[in-house]
A and B are shown apart, each in its own frame.
Chain A
Amino acid sequence: MSRSKIKKELVWAAVFLLLTALMINFLSDVLRPAQTSYGSTWRAFLAEPEDSLDVIYLGSSFTYCDVNPAEVYDSSGLTGFVMAGSEQPLSITYWYLREILKTQSPSAVVLEVTSLYFKPYQNYTQKNVDLMPFSRNKLGAIFTASEPELRQGLLFDLYFYHSRWKEVRPDDVVRALRPTQWDERKGFTAMQGVLDGVGETPDVADREVAPEVYADNLEWLGKILALCRKHGIQPILTVHPSYVRCTPEVYARIGQEAEKMDPNVIFCDWSNAFAEIGLVPNRHLYDGSHLNQEGAAIFSAWLGRELTGSFGLTPRPQTPENTAAWQAAAAWWNDQSAQ
């Protein structure tokens, strides 16, 4: 084979490999299940205009069930987005924040810290990590925060989802063609009703976690705080109202440890602040740990007032289109609450 023919063939081989990679990527997008609630809603997050969010809410289900950014906006004018994940350990939260900061420059990060008591690998690593856009941060999450046995599938997610070929509908193809999709829920998941017996007696007991796991979690928290410092973001660590909670002493200790890592940090233990917020436990808790839709609306409105009042956050200017979009989202939730 002549030199020029070899060159030509190499170019064609490269084109073939590129096209194959693109097709595999598209196929993965088609076969990956849609995620519009229960955290990790990256598709909706990426539809937000760049640098338009004032606050990012991080954490686990305590965040995506309790904080409704549209209600926060309605009470305070602060735009925000919940980028939490089911049982999300702080290691994954760190990589989430790094990825978030590629498109947003929030004034504050509100992090619910129950995840300090999570094990290194909880039950939802696949969902938490796999839905991240492919990037160095996703690779970081795969190699530092995911179970080794999941890595193959997290790197090549047809491994997880290819058998969904029987369930694929035209909607899935449309979704793959449109990688971002604006959503008025802003990462919030509304829980309906109150489970039987909830809100009667609080379960106050210390969560059990091995000291080395807790130390690891503190280390990841330190990295999150350092990242906030680097980007001039106010970190606000919170514990949400809950009937499954630790003792006040435990939360006080967390506050002290966080303050040691970053004196600028704000720590708020709202675990027993039901009356102050206006929540009625047997009406506004979905289960012992999470608020229902009505409870989340009350808590979010109160949170918005706290963020602007007590913590001095101010809404950033928005384009008229984005202002209209946020007002529409708030109105949509008001309608939902009224129903």
Chain B
Amino acid sequence: MTFLSAPFFCFFPVTVLVYFLLPRRGKNLWLLLASWFFYLCAKPVYLTLLLAVIATSYLTGRILAGRKSRGALAACLGLDIVLLFLFKYLHFALSLAGQLLRAAGAYFSTPALEILLPVGISFYLFQAMGYVIDVYRGKVEAEESFLLYALFLSFFPQVVSGPIGRADELLPQFRTEHPFDYDRFRKGLLRFLWGAFQKMVLADRLAVLVNTVYAAPGEFGALQLMGAAVAFSFQIYCDFSGYTDMALGVAQSMGFTLRENFAQPYFARSISDFWRRWHISLTSWFRDYLYIPLGGSRKGTVRKFLNVLIVFALSGLWHGAAVTFVVWGALNGLYQVAGAVTQPARERIFGALHLGREKRLRQGIQLLTTFGLTTVAWVFFKASSLGTASAILRGMLHGPLWVYQSMGLDRWELLAAAAGLLVLLAVDLRAARRDLAGEWLSAPRPVRWLVLWGLLFACLIFGSYGTGYDAQAFLYGFSF
């Protein structure tokens, strides 16, 4: 069951209605049962692993509440990491080992493993690990109620693809009452609709173009390859940001506030700025639970750069069990190291050109440079292999400018995508300075209705769904 499936449109109204009708004592139990049902719809066997992670991290929390046991913490974290490795990285590690051994002349046949990746494992394991570390550090109290803790890890808006929640933010929300708030409810639904627009109208439409070009990069010209790379930058943003908006909207309509995951990332003026705006819940997780424990920036410049590279390489690996993801992560780390190293020189150049920090031209140059660098990095994220990625990057520099060949979208589809991207730009520009949902709520009723109808009918008419449509799974969805 995904947010944009018919079963969810039955599941959600029933869940919300019963949630608000139940007396306070029954609300959390109902949410937990609903969340487990939601999760069961993915595949029943996955639920047992989620339950095991809930049980072990809950017990570890209880042990840590009694005494600060480094052993208990290590055992729990070790178990979580082993689970993640077994389910997500074992096949990758074996095939990598096989390649290395074969290169060294040894015979090694990679066993064919049929391990299904449990839905959302990367998200809820990180959330559980964050919880036990926070308890160990004394940042949060160990949760006494198993029900609340189980709900913390299973809460259906975030269990599949985050945002990765923090115990100090989410657990208290399960303890407070959330009476029906019409304004919050409407804001939540608006946010859900905006997320659906990004996913259905933009991400899945751009995916057709991107997949066509990436499937045979040698058959397209340089401008087409660049276009596809740029399209993927927007596709992945609309896909994941759309998902997050839907998750946050669903939670908001029930009175819960989840962690924000995006803050107009393509308006970033440097790569480090980009990573403060992109997948914020994961970036901050790596910052708090890996970068700072590694020493952060406290142990000298070289160690800081090394820490950045380690964190981003691991972040790349978190995104997928393939070399391309590691390269993507490491490249982002390298960008940041290079950015820090060259900062004085860049400041001097801007100074010589009389381009102060607030000059529009300087902002524009920085914004476009950052966008260009992230787009190049996304090529590795999207490509099926390093060979394909390098073929795409080579094709951007060599070969014909344009090859007359269909890129998968006709001109009407391209027009729809362009119009949708303009809407996205306008919304992001405005959202950077204002509370859009608040503005919408205070607008006259006809304006509110027009906004809702605009989004709804854009999804219904121009959205990618229905017969003959090959549904694109959420890029950050079931494979994480």
Chain B residues positioned under 8 Å from A159 (CB to CB): 465-467
Would you give the 0/1 interface string for A1-43, flagging 1 where the beta carbon is closer than 8 Å to chain B? 1000010010010001001100110010001000000000000
Q: How far is the CA of A27 from the CA of B461 in the complex (A)?
A: 9
Interface residue? B285 (CB, 8 A) = no
Do B457 and A9 have beta carbons less than 8 Å apart? Answer: no
Chain B residues positioned under 8 Å from A163 (CB to CB): 466, 468-469
Smallest beta-carbon distance B25→chain A, Å: 25
Do A152 and B6 have beta carbons less than 8 Å apart? Answer: yes
- Residues of B419-474 at the interface with A, using a CB-CB cut-off of 8 Å, are 445, 449, 452-453, 456-457, 460-463, 465-469
Do A27 and B457 have beta carbons less than 8 Å apart? Answer: yes
Interface residue? A214 (CB, 8 A) = no
Q: How far is the CA of A31 from the CA of B467 in the complex (A)?
A: 14
Do A23 and B466 have beta carbons less than 8 Å apart? Answer: no
Do A162 and B461 have beta carbons less than 8 Å apart? Answer: yes
Interface residue? B402 (CB, 8 A) = no
Do A1 and B457 have beta carbons less than 8 Å apart? Answer: no
Do B467 and A24 have beta carbons less than 8 Å apart? Answer: no
Q: Residue among B413, B463, B467 with the most chain A CB within 10 A?
A: B467
Interface residue? B412 (CB, 8 A) = yes
Chain B residues positioned under 8 Å from A165 (CB to CB): 461-462
Q: How far is the CA of A16 from the CA of B410 in the complex (A)?
A: 35
Smallest beta-carbon distance A184→chain B, Å: 33
Do A24 and B466 have beta carbons less than 8 Å apart? Answer: no
Do B182 and A162 have beta carbons less than 8 Å apart? Answer: no
Smallest beta-carbon distance B183→chain A, Å: 8
Q: A162-B461, A162-B463 are in contact. Are A6 and B182 (CB under 8 A)?
A: yes
Q: How far is the CA of A20 from the CA of B466 in the complex (A)?
A: 20
Contact among B182, B449, B456, B467 for A160, CB-based, below 8 A: B467
Chain A residues positioned under 8 Å from B469 (CB to CB): 163
Chain A residues positioned under 8 Å from B182 (CB to CB): 1, 6, 9
Do B445 and A12 have beta carbons less than 8 Å apart? Answer: yes
CB nearest to A164 among chain B residues: B461
Number of B residues with CB within 8 Å of any CB on chain A: 20
Chain B residues positioned under 8 Å from A153 (CB to CB): 466-467
Do A20 and B461 have beta carbons less than 8 Å apart? Answer: no
Q: A12-B445, A159-B466, A163-B466 are in contact. Are A27 and B460 (CB under 8 A)?
A: yes
Do B460 and A24 have beta carbons less than 8 Å apart? Answer: yes
CB nearest to B6 among chain A residues: A152
Interface residue? A102 (CB, 8 A) = no
Do B449 and A162 have beta carbons less than 8 Å apart? Answer: no
Contact among B412, B457, B467 for A166, CB-based, below 8 A: B412
Smallest beta-carbon distance B253→chain A, Å: 14
Chain B residues positioned under 8 Å from A152 (CB to CB): 6
Q: How far is the CA of A23 from the CA of B452 in the complex (A)?
A: 13
Chain B residues positioned under 8 Å from A31 (CB to CB): 461
Smallest beta-carbon distance A254→chain B, Å: 36
Q: A27-B461, A153-B467, A166-B412 are in contact. Are A20 and B453 (CB under 8 A)?
A: yes
Chain A residues positioned under 8 Å from B412 (CB to CB): 166
Q: How far is the CA of A158 from the CA of B461 in the complex (A)?
A: 8
Number of A residues with CB within 8 Å of any CB on chain B: 20
Q: A9-B182, A159-B467, A163-B466 are in contact. Are A16 and B449 (CB under 8 A)?
A: yes
Smallest beta-carbon distance A82→chain B, Å: 27
Do A162 and B456 have beta carbons less than 8 Å apart? Answer: no
Smallest beta-carbon distance B187→chain A, Å: 14
Do B457 and A23 have beta carbons less than 8 Å apart? Answer: yes
CB nearest to B412 among chain A residues: A166
Smallest beta-carbon distance B179→chain A, Å: 11
Smallest beta-carbon distance B41→chain A, Å: 16
Do A158 and B466 have beta carbons less than 8 Å apart? Answer: yes
CB nearest to B183 among chain A residues: A1
Smallest beta-carbon distance A131→chain B, Å: 15
Chain B residues positioned under 8 Å from A162 (CB to CB): 460-461, 463, 465-466
Smallest beta-carbon distance A1→chain B, Å: 6
CB nearest to A19 among chain B residues: B449
Smallest beta-carbon distance A271→chain B, Å: 37
Q: How far is the CA of A23 from the CA of B460 in the complex (A)?
A: 11
CB nearest to A6 among chain B residues: B182
Q: How far is the CA of A16 from the CA of B448 in the complex (A)?
A: 11
Q: A6-B182, A23-B453 are in contact. Are A158 and B460 (CB under 8 A)?
A: yes
Do A20 and B460 have beta carbons less than 8 Å apart? Answer: no
Chain A residues positioned under 8 Å from B457 (CB to CB): 23, 27
Chain A residues positioned under 8 Å from B449 (CB to CB): 16, 19
Would you give the 0/1 interface string for A153-177, flagging 1 where the beta carbon is closer than 8 Å to chain B? 1000011101101100000000000
CB nearest to B456 among chain A residues: A20
Chain A residues positioned under 8 Å from B6 (CB to CB): 152
Smallest beta-carbon distance A149→chain B, Å: 10
Chain A residues positioned under 8 Å from B452 (CB to CB): 16
Smallest beta-carbon distance B167→chain A, Å: 32
Would you give the 0/1 interface string for B29-70, flagging 1 where the beta carbon is closer than 8 Å to chain A? 000000000000000000000000000000000000000000
Q: How far is the CA of A210 from the CA of B457 in the complex (A)?
A: 45
- Residues of A83-138 at the interface with B, using a CB-CB cut-off of 8 Å, are none
- Residues of A156-204 at the interface with B, using a CB-CB cut-off of 8 Å, are 158-160, 162-163, 165-166
Smallest beta-carbon distance A152→chain B, Å: 5
CB nearest to A156 among chain B residues: B6
Q: Residue among B182, B449, B453, B461 with the most chain A CB within 10 A?
A: B461
Q: How far is the CA of A216 from the CA of B462 in the complex (A)?
A: 41
Chain B residues positioned under 8 Å from A1 (CB to CB): 182
CB nearest to B411 among chain A residues: A166
CB nearest to B468 among chain A residues: A163
Smallest beta-carbon distance B445→chain A, Å: 7
Chain B residues positioned under 8 Å from A166 (CB to CB): 410, 412-413
CB nearest to B445 among chain A residues: A12
Smallest beta-carbon distance A4→chain B, Å: 14
Q: How far is the CA of A114 from the CA of B413 in the complex (A)?
A: 44
Q: How far is the CA of A223 from the CA of B238 in the complex (A)?
A: 52
Of the A-B pairs whose beta carbons lie under 8 Å apart in the complex, a sample of 20, sorted by A's number, is: A6-B182, A9-B182, A12-B445, A20-B453, A23-B453, A23-B457, A24-B460, A27-B460, A153-B467, A158-B460, A158-B461, A159-B465, A159-B466, A162-B460, A162-B463, A162-B466, A163-B466, A163-B469, A165-B462, A166-B412
Taking A23-B457, A24-B460, A166-B410 as known contacts, 13 extra A-B pairs with beta carbons closer than 8 A to each other, sorted by chain A number, are: A1-B182, A9-B182, A16-B452, A19-B449, A23-B453, A152-B6, A158-B460, A158-B461, A158-B466, A159-B465, A162-B463, A163-B468, A163-B469
Lowest 6 A-B CB distances belong to which pairs?
A: A159-B466, A166-B412, A165-B461, A160-B467, A152-B6, A158-B460
